[in-house]
Structure 1
Amino acid sequence: MIYTQLKGVKCVILDVDGVLTNGNILVTDDGNQLRTFNVKDGYAIQYAIKQGLDVFVITGAKSEGVKIRFQGLGVKEIFLGISDKLAVLEDLLKKYNHALEDVLFIGDDMPDYICMQRVGVAVAPADAVEDIKKLCDYVSKFKGGEGVVREVLEKTLRLQGKWHVDVLTTSV
């Protein structure tokens, strides 16, 4: 059934910590918070955008580095320091004229729960909290920061006939 749902996806919402990262944050002596991102996730994000999917980031993280990373990948809307993710999701749906059933949300922890309950496709990394995994349409075989986003975007684009191996040459 997940494959049928992925065919209709027009919008992808991503959490950051625990989805695009492994959830670990290195805090420097001057208070900067450092994260690592998987380059394969990044490639899939920029390619999905080029293929017409709307990809947005809604996160509780407040790091300027997070914003810079996703701007560099072509993400149009990046929301940092968000506690009410549902309000942001609803605003995005209105602004970009998407229905809830057209949205795929990848989250890993309780701040993502209410959004994931409402969207058309809810996905979690293998190491997401149990309450999140229970409500998901699909739980990835990958842990957060280890290619979850790449796996799901590639599956989605392949099912939509938009994953073109002969033109996958753009670097990240």
Structure 2
Amino acid sequence: MNADLQQRAQRIKLAIFDVDGVLTDGRLYFLTDGSEFKTFNTLDGHGIKMLMKSGVRTAIITGRTTPVVERRARDLGIPHLYQGREDKLAVLDELLGELGLHYEQVAYLGDDLPDLPVIRRVGLGMAVASADPFVREHAHGVTRARGGEGAAREFCELIMGAQGSLEAAQSAYL
């Protein structure tokens, strides 16, 4: 990890995730009855749980609304879920006011243009490898993994590594 990312990650108290293209591969699956399903990566889920256990708060902000995301957030224990919110920067401001945090204490992982205002505003704004090229260009860093394929886990481990909690989290399984 480069020195700039490490320094930014050390200050993080809240990690925020987009859903489509970040926690999923970005594809939308619709059944004939109109219902929707998404696939999530279990490595990402465990990374988010480890991050929360290390003391970093978590949130999801997504422009779409679906019960599948509500269930995934509940299953992972993510306490702050904002669905159907196109203006993600406004949501960020609400959340920071509620939690008493500052922009530099926030990390965000996104993939597309609606994520860019938040990526540029927070202390650690990152894009997944499969993100739009313009978004990758303006992020502080880009994961090696693609969205839905371990990018969130990589993001979580980057933060934990910078904060010195990753080794203990991993060692608990030895």
Normalised by the shorter chain, which TM-score bucket?
A: over 0.9
Partners of 2:44 and 2:122 lie apart in 1 by 21
Q: Give secondary structure in 2 for the equivalent of 1:57.
A: strand
Q: Deviations over 1:85-112 (max 9, x none)?
A: 1111001101111110111110100111
Aligned mate of 1:92, from 59, 71, 95:
95
Coordinate RMSD, CA, aligned? 1.1
Count, aligned residues: 169
What are structure 2's unaligned runs of at least 5 residues?
none
Match of 1:167 in 2: 172
Instruction: Answer yes or no: is 1:81 the counterpart of 2:84.
Output: yes
| 4+ runs deviating over 4 angstroms | none
* 2:6 corresponds to which of 3, 16, 19: 3
CA deviation vs aligned residue, 1:121-150 (integer Å, no higher than 9, x gap): 111111100111111111111111000110
Separation in 2, partners of 1:166, 1:131: 38
User: Sequence identity of aligned pairs in percent?
Assistant: 35
2:114 alignment counterpart? 111
Q: TM-score, normalised by structure 1?
A: 0.95
Distance apart, 1:82 and its partner CA: 0.9
TM-score norm. by structure 2 comes to 0.94
User: Could you tell me how far 1:25 is from its partner in structure 2?
Assistant: 1.1
Residue of structure 2 equivalent to 1:55: 58
Query: How far off is 1:166 after superposition?
Result: 2.3
